[in-house]
Amino acid sequence: MDVFGSFALLLAFLCAGYAFVGGIAAIRTRHPLLVKSARQAGIAACGLIFLATGSLVYLFFSDSYWVSYVVSHSNRDLATFYKIAALWSGQEGSLLFWSFLLAIYVISVLLVYRNKNGELMPYVGVVLAGVQIFFLTLNNFVANPFKVLASPGANGALEIFTRADGNGLTPLLQYPEMVIHPPNLYSGYTGFTIPFAFALGALLARYPGEKWIHLTRKWTMIAWCFQTMGILLGAHWAYAVLGWGGYWGWDPVENASLLPWLTGTAFLHSVMMQEKRGMMKVWNVWLVFTTFMLCILGTLLTRSGVVSSVHAFAQSSIGNYFVGFLLLVFAVCLVAYVKNRDYLKSENQLDSMVSRESSFLFNNLILLVSCIAVLSGTLFPVFSEWFSSSRISVGAPFFNKVNIPIGLILLFLTGVGPLLAWRKTSTDSLKRNFGWPVVVALIAGVVVFVLGVREFFSLVCLTLCVFVTSTIGMEFFRGARVIRSRSGASLLASAVDLTMRNTRRYGGYIVHMGMVLIFVGLAGAAFNRDTQKDMQSGSTLDIGQYRLLLQGFDSKAEKNYTSERMIVEVWRDNKPLMMLYPERRFFQTNEQSGTMVAIYSTLREDLYIVYAGENPETRQPVIHAYLNPLVKWIWLGGLVVVLGTLVTLLPNRRAVLVLAGAPEGARVQQPSAQTLAPSIALREGHD
Amino acid sequence: MIKRRVVAVSLLIALSASSAALFSSRVQAQQTDRAKQIGGKFMCMCSCNQVLTQCNHVGCTTSASMLKELDGWVARGDSETVITSAFVQEFGTKVYAEPPRSGLSLVAWSLPTVYLLLGTLLVIFVIWRWRSRALLRPASVAGRQSGVSAQDLERARRRVAQETED
């Protein structure tokens, strides 16, 4: 199967090569057969990548311990679904997995548009094939996952040998979320290849610039959604596994995943300027190019060892390939832009400073500033070493100080932007839209202050969260009220109807609401508490309103590890509440240990208990307890963001009115939004 | 009488002992808080890229020994500057959790503000320019400045409309 996988990869490389060269020839000659054969070669390359990936998975499941990659990342007792996770746990497998996910996107695009957009698709196909060639080069010639174990035999020739068992999977990765976090994140990274390919293809094809935006909106949303889920799942994994009580440590690898998310988010907003007003075409093209390049840069940071990170793969020369590819991509984008920039000329005009357009400009500014600040902070240790021969670390305190104010400005714009009208917002409209939300937010701010929140940024954050929630709530309420007055349905049903009539606009609001919930969770971090104590059976530890009573220890032997658990009884307000079992696991195969944190999570706070090992001086077991307020809101916010994104991907439902009290069948097809109240009709027109 | 004195003295001793214990635990708590606050300004040197007080890797001996050193210095009453220089001497500048606000590190601190200021100025300039453009020229003639003629641009748009579908 290893030979089969290797061969499939090699054939995939050749097919991708043909798709690239044949695609260029097709563009030049416009010969239909060439166009078709290039497309078929692209599809074949994807199919072969699927076969190669399937082969590697099979090698894991069949415990093929003559394949070096399988030996390094699996063992016989490894649970079945972790054998799937083992696929992306190392350099070679994760690069193959990257090719695999990219192939899913590529084959989807090639099939969905096989009979559409005949002039544009060859360009898109060539760009996609170019990206595939790069990754297949790595898969075949730099980091081949199908290498076998071999040693010189008696006659001096290399002989394949088989190990009795593998080294096992890193304990940190033996956690259910590790089976879904990397696929999500990688799907985000690879997904941005599609808008990139369309943007570059459209530029090369000298398209004036509007159309590729329409074609790629859904693909961009899908990639962004995966990236968001990947980031949040990664944060949850860090929270539940690493045992340091936090979810985001501004590690270079975490930062690398955030960078394309920030530019991707900027793109999703600024693209509306282009759709509605034909503005910012150059900016949008470069935002997509930058997002794709940041995905590659993130991969470079993770794999080259340029920056130190607990997540990073071992230092290797593979970074040079990524640098080369990054430079090549930049050069191609630059040349394509310089040669065809005339086709991107925008009709940039603004009627007023107070308008939706201005808010988008500021939104993009803030997202970009955040992106550059995170990037420069991440790379500063490298630069400091170049310029002063000593490496200066840039850790979480720096990033928090820099990004918290930026995040709050962004949160403010989240509330303000959607309520401003395109072109010009009148003073009356400002008063009508913002009067109540400002009042409600100020009252909430005072209440929160009185309740004891004195930390400045948290206070501002919570106040802004109320402000944004009010603006979003008012938008839904106004629209739903109009629908209710005509249909007689309940307010909730009317709100659902409203959302389904303009999924993009109201789905966007749901995404914003999710972000608000995430910000609420982040605001809680200022009030985290923790305490640590040596414990023996019968000892207690107090934290907040909780008392932890250590009842004892037990141990269990699983197939792949042995574990020692603390049995902790949790009391709240002098009443027994529940049992928690923080544990330490010892994995025999690779002789590594890991923690399993015990969490009691409520909307108010998380009680987070870590079995932190043994105090070397007292030889007593140590318990480390954290009380982290509002963390659950972050995960809930993530779910709402995903829900909102899914809503934006749905097609708009045509409005149908059911007249209150009218007999069955007296349904009236509503011709358009014009029959709604004027303000709503206008709003529906601009999302 | 003697009995009363014994009780009074015992009470006094107990009171003093408990206040001493209370004082000592308060001092200890203050020391712990101070150690935590200072420890939050350094990185753990086990290459985990985490702040010293947050490193909780199983079996991480580096953070344990660093925290022990820190506790010792804090108990001795050393100032933050002294503790910082001791750590920097031992591990180099990579021990900082955030760059010091001096020398080259000042660049790291000032860059985000510079980006924000320059970006804001740029956005304001762009808005001003686009507004003046709207005031000077009607929208219909906009876009004619491009190197491509208006007819070519229109032709390209028609071509795109024909060639693509959502």
Q: How confident is the model at residue A17 (pLDDT cuts 50, 70, 90)?
A: very high
Q: In this predicted model, what pLDDT tens digit does every residue of A564-576 receive, in sequence order? A: 899 999 999 889 9
Q: Of A229-238, A365-374, A510-519, B23-32, which range is least confident? A: B23-32
Structure tokens at A88: 């992306």
The B residues from 130 to 159 touching A (CB cutoff 8 Å) are 130-131, 133-134, 137, 139, 142-143, 145-148, 153, 156-157, 159
Among B78, B98, B118, identify where a domain stops: B98
Ranking A121-135, A142-156, A215-229 by mean pLDDT, the lowest is A142-156
Residues A231 and A331 in one domain: yes
pLDDT band at B91 (very low <50, low <70, confident <90, very high): confident
CA distance B102 to chain A (A): 12
Which DSSP symbol is given to B94? G
* Chain A residues with CB-CB distance to B119 below 8 A: 365, 368-369
Query: Domain boundary at B77, B98, B119, which?
Result: B98
Q: How far is CA A317 from CA A99, A301, A323, in A?
A: 19, 12, 10
Domain boundary at A169, A198, A228, which? A169
CB contact under 8 A, B56 and A361: no
At residue A598, φ and ψ (nearest 5 deg) are -105, 130
Total structural domains in chain B? 2
Does A397 contact B41 at a Cβ distance shorter than 8 Å?
yes
- The DSSP result for A566-587, as a single string, is EEEEEEETTEEEEEE--EEEEE
Asked, for residue A507, whether it belongs to a domain, the answer is no
With b for 16 or more beta-carbon neighbours within 10 A and e for fewer, the A17-28 pattern comes to: bbbbebbbbbbe
CA distance B17 to chain A (A): 24
Per cent of chain A over pLDDT 90 is: 50
Q: Is B163 on the interface with A (CB under 8 A)?
A: yes
Q: Which of residues 487-526 of A touch B (CB under 8 A)?
A: none
Tokens standing for residue A355: 């308008």
Q: Check whether residue B18 and residue B81 sit in a common domain.
A: yes
Nearest of A87, A66, A79, A91 to residue A166 by alpha carbon: A66
Question: How high is the mean pLDDT of chain A?
Answer: 86
Which domain does B1 fall in, by range?
1-98
Question: Going by DSSP bridges, is the β-strand pair A621-629/A605-614 parallel, antiparallel, or unpaired?
Answer: antiparallel
CA–CA distance, B79 with A594 (Å, rounded to integer): 36
Question: Based on the domain organization, do B15 and B90 belong to the same domain?
Answer: yes
- Domain match, A109 and A210 both: no
Q: Give the residue on A whose Cα is nearest the Cα of B40.
A: A397
- Per residue, the 3-state secondary structure of A510-526, as one string, reads HHHHHHHHHHHHHHHHH
**Domain presence at residue A639:** no
Name the one residue in this structure whose structure tokens are 């009795």.
A164
Short-list A188, A158, A276, A40, CA closest to A642? A188
Last residue of a domain, one of A111, A140, A169: A169
Q: Is residue A482 domain-shared with residue A379, that is, in the same domain?
A: no
Give the nearest partner residue to B163 out of A119, A249, A251, using CB atoms: A119
Residues B145 and B64 in one domain: no
Average pLDDT over residues A87-102: 91
In this prediction, residue A663 carries a pLDDT of 47
Is-contact A76 A166, C-beta < 8 A? Answer: yes
As a whole number of angstroms, the distance between CA A294 and CA A291 comes to 5
Mutate to test the interface with A, among B47, B55, B57, B58 (most CBs of A within 10 A): B58
Residue A666 CB contacts under 8 Å (≥ 6 apart), including other chains: A658, A659
Query: Residue A98 above 60 pLDDT?
Result: yes
**A455 in helix, strand or coil?**
coil
Query: Can you read off the two tokens belonging to residue A563?
Result: 């574990």
Q: Kindly determine whether residue B54 and residue A346, on different chains, have CB atoms separated by under 8 Å.
A: no
B67, B60 Cβ separation under 8 angstroms: no
- Asked if the C-beta of A207 comes within 8 angstroms of chain B's C-beta atoms, the answer is yes
Q: A589 with A168: CB under 8 angstroms?
A: yes
Largest CA distance in chain A: 94
**A63 and A151, same structural domain?**
yes
SS (H, E, C) A458-521: HHHHHHHHHHHHHHHHHHHHHHHHHHHHHHCCCHHHHHHHHHHHCHHHHHHHHHHHHHHHHHHH
Q: Is residue A486 part of a domain?
A: yes
Q: What are phi and psi of A650, to 5 degrees?
A: -75, 150
Yes or no, beta carbons of A613 and B96 under 8 Å apart: no
Q: Which of B46, B72, B98 is the last residue of a domain?
A: B98
pLDDT mean over A16-31: 93
Instruction: Judge if A134 and A223 occupy the same domain.
Output: no
Distance CA A506, CA A496 (A): 9
Is A145 a domain residue? yes
Range of the domain at A486: 426-501+654-685
For residue B152, what pLDDT band results from cuts at 50, 70 and 90?
low
Using CB atoms and an 8 Å cut-off, which of residues 171-190 of chain A contact chain B?
none
pLDDT of residue A422: 81
Is it the case that residue A621 has pLDDT exceeding 80?
yes
Query: Hey, what are B57's tokens?
Result: 């890797």
Q: Evaluate whether A352 touches A315 at the Cβ level (below 8 Å).
A: no
Same domain assignment for residues B17 and B31: yes
User: B50 and A208: CB-CB below 8 Å?
Assistant: no
Q: pTM above the 0.90 mark?
A: no
Tokens matching residue A253 = 């690898």
* pLDDT at res. B12: 55
Same domain, A30 and A139: yes
Q: Which amino acid is at A255?
A: N
Rounded-to-integer distance, Cα A303 and Cα A318, Å:
7
- How buried is residue B66: exposed, middle or buried, by Cβ count under 10 Å (0-12/13-18/19+)? buried
pLDDT above 70 covers a percentage of chain A that reads 92
In angstroms, what CA-CA distances link A634 with A233, A252, A518? Answer: 11, 21, 4
A655 band by pLDDT with thresholds 50, 70 and 90: low
DSSP state for residue A314 in the 8-state scheme: P
pLDDT band at A668 (very low <50, low <70, confident <90, very high): very low
Q: Which two tokens stand for residue A390?
A: 């000593």
Q: Are B56 and A387 within 8 A, CB to CB?
A: no
Looking at the structure, do residues B25 and B94 belong to the same domain, yes or no? yes
Is A392 in Cβ contact with B105 (below 8 Å)? yes
Give yes or no: residues B94 and B109 share one domain: no
Mean pLDDT of A121-126: 92
Sign of the Cα torsion A498, A500, A501, A505 reads positive
| Residue A509, domain member (yes or no) | no
Judge contact between A367 and A374, C-beta under 8 A.
no
Q: How far apart are CA A117 and CA A120, in angstroms?
A: 6
**B-proximal residues of A, 76-135, CB under 8 Å:** 116-120
Instruction: List the single residue in B93, B130, B159 with the smallest CB-CB distance to A349.
Output: B130
Last residue of a domain, which of A135, A169, A203? A169
Which of B40, B64, B94 faces A397 most closely, judged by CB atoms? B40
From B10's Cα to the closest Cα of chain A, the distance in A is 30
Q: Is the pLDDT of residue A562 over 70?
A: yes
Amino acid A363 reads N
Contact check, Cβ <8 Å, A207/B156: yes
Three-state SS string over A107-176 comes to HHHHHHCCCCCCCCHHHHHHHHHHHHHHHHHHHHHHCCCCCECEEECCCCCEEECCCCCCCCCCHHHCCC
First vs last Cα of chain B: how many Å apart? 104
**What's residue B151's pLDDT?**
66
| Whole-number Å distance between alpha carbons of A63 and A165 | 8
> What average pLDDT does this structure show over B57-81?
82
Same domain, B77 and B38: yes
Q: What pLDDT is recorded for position A517?
A: 97
Task: Say if residue B2 is in the same domain as residue B83.
Answer: yes
Strand, helix or coil for residue A104: helix
Find, in chain B, the residue whose alpha carbon is nearest to that of A215.
B166
* Statement to judge: residues B136 and B89 lie in one domain: no
Band of residue A585 on the pLDDT scale cut at 50, 70, 90: confident
Q: Is A366 found in the same domain as A461? A: no
Q: Cα separation of A401 and A408, whole Å?
A: 12
Cβ–Cβ contact A398 with B under 8 A: yes
User: Is residue B161 scored above 80 in pLDDT?
Assistant: no
Residues A279 and A357 sit within 8 Å (Cβ to Cβ): yes
Please, which residues have CB within 8 angstroms of residue A553's CB and are 6 or more apart in sequence? A537, A564, A565, A566, A567, A621
Query: Do both B68 and B113 map to the same domain?
Result: no
The closest of A137, A119, A99 to A23, measured between CA atoms, is A119
Mark whether A440 and A415 lie in a shared domain.
Answer: no
Rounded Cα gap, residues B99 and A410, in angstroms: 25
pLDDT at residue B148, rounded to an integer = 57
Contact A316, A339 (CB under 8 A): no
Distance from the A78 Cα atom to the nearest Cα atom in chain B, whole angstroms: 21
Does residue A641 surpass a pLDDT of 90? yes
Read off the pLDDT band of A547 (50, 70, 90).
very high
> Which residue type is seen at A166?
G
Residue A508, in any domain of the structure: no
A207 and A244: one domain? yes
Helix, strand or coil, per DSSP, at residue A605: strand
Type of residue numbered B164: T
* Range with lowest mean pLDDT among A120-129, A213-222, A566-575, B146-155: B146-155
> How many angstroms separate the CA atoms of A306 and A311, rounded?
13
* Alpha-carbon Rg for chain A in angstroms: 28
**Same domain flag for A315 and A396:** yes
In this structure, are residues A447 and A420 in contact, taking their beta carbons and an 8 Å threshold?
A: no
- For residue A568, is it within any domain? yes
pLDDT band at A518 (very low <50, low <70, confident <90, very high): very high
pLDDT digits (tens, 9 = 90+) for B18-37: 555 544 555 555 557 788 88
The rounded distance, in Å, linking the Cα atoms of A67 and A2 is 7
Tell me the residues of chain B between 32 and 71 that have a Cβ less than 8 Å away from chain A: 40-41, 43, 47-51, 54-59, 64
Look up the CATH number of the domain holding residue B2: 1.10.8
Checking DSSP bridges between strand A158-160 and strand A575-580, what pairing results, if any? unpaired
Residue A211 shares a structural domain with residue A77: no
Q: How far away is chain B from the Cα of A311, in angstroms, using its nearest Cα?
A: 9
- H or E element at residue A549: strand A546-557
Q: How many A-B residue pairs are in contact by the CB < 8 A criterion?
A: 187
Contact yes or no for A460/A448 (Cβ under 8 A)? no
Nearest CA-CA partner of B93 in B143, B45, B152: B45
Cα separation values, A333 from A213, A294, A341, A343, B25, Å: 17, 14, 11, 15, 65
Report B:77-106 residues touching A (Cβ under 8 A): 92-100, 103-105
Q: Name the pairing type of β-strands A621-629 and A656-658.
A: unpaired
How far is residue A412 CA from its own chain's centroid?
22
At A687 the pLDDT is 39
pLDDT, position A423: 81
| A105-109, A182-186, A339-343, B136-140: the lowest-pLDDT one | B136-140
Q: Are residues B93 and B110 in the same domain?
A: no
- How many domains does chain A contain in total? 4
Q: How far apart are CA B62 and CA B46, in angstroms?
A: 6
For the ranges A16-20, A437-441, A528-532, A579-583, the lowest mean pLDDT is seen at A528-532
Same domain for A157 and A188, yes or no, is no
Contact between chains at B156 and A347 (C-beta distance less than 8 A): no
Q: Based on the domain organization, do B76 and B108 belong to the same domain?
A: no
pLDDT at B3 exceeding the cut of 50: yes
**For residue A512, what pLDDT is reported?**
95
User: From the list B50, B92, B139, which residue is nearest A349 (CB)?
Assistant: B139
Who has greater pLDDT, B29 or B126? Answer: B126
In chain B, what are the helix, strand and coil shares in percent, each to the nearest 5?
75, 0, 25
Residues written for chain A = 687
B25 lies within 8 A of chain A by CB = no
Which token pair is A328?
């090549």
SS3 content of chain A, % helix, strand, coil (to 5): 65, 15, 25
d(C-alpha A438, C-alpha A436), whole Å: 5
Hey, are the CB atoms on B115 and A369 less than 8 Å from each other?
yes
Contact between B159 and A394 using a beta-carbon 8 Å cutoff:
no
**Which chain A residues are closer than 8 Å to B154 by Cβ?**
none
Q: What is residue A677's predicted lDDT score, i.e. its pLDDT? A: 41
